[in-house]
């Protein structure tokens, strides 16, 4: 299950959110046909795209 939170910069996490994060760390990542594991070259391309997107958001 995916949970999404909108947190503003500087806003502290609640105890419930911190607990959910620590519990999620105990579970393995499960890849499937909808979300396959990325190859190293795909990971580099994804990281590059994210950096470019973030630079545009700051401008």
Q: Within 1-59, where are the H helices?
A: 15-24, 40-58
pLDDT tier, 57 (very low <50, low <70, confident <90, very high otherwise): confident
Name the percent of the chain in helix, strand, coil, to the closest 5.
Answer: 50, 0, 50
Encode pLDDT of 17-55 as tens digits.
Answer: 999 999 999 999 999 999 899 999 999 999 999 999 999
Task: Report pLDDT for 31.
Answer: 93
Is pLDDT above 80 for 1? no
| Those residues with Cβ within 8 angstroms of residue 20's Cβ, 6 or more apart along the chain or in another chain | 3
Task: Report pLDDT for 50.
Answer: 95
Token pair recorded at residue 15:
């105890």
């Amino acid at each position: 299950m995916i949970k999404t939170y909108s947190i503003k910069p500087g806003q502290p996490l609640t105890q419930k959110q911190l607990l959910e994060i620590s519990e999620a760390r105990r579970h393995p990542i499960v890849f499937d046909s909808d979300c396959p594991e990325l190859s190293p070259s795909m990971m580099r391309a994804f990281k590059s795209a994210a950096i470019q997107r973030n630079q545009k958001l700051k401008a």
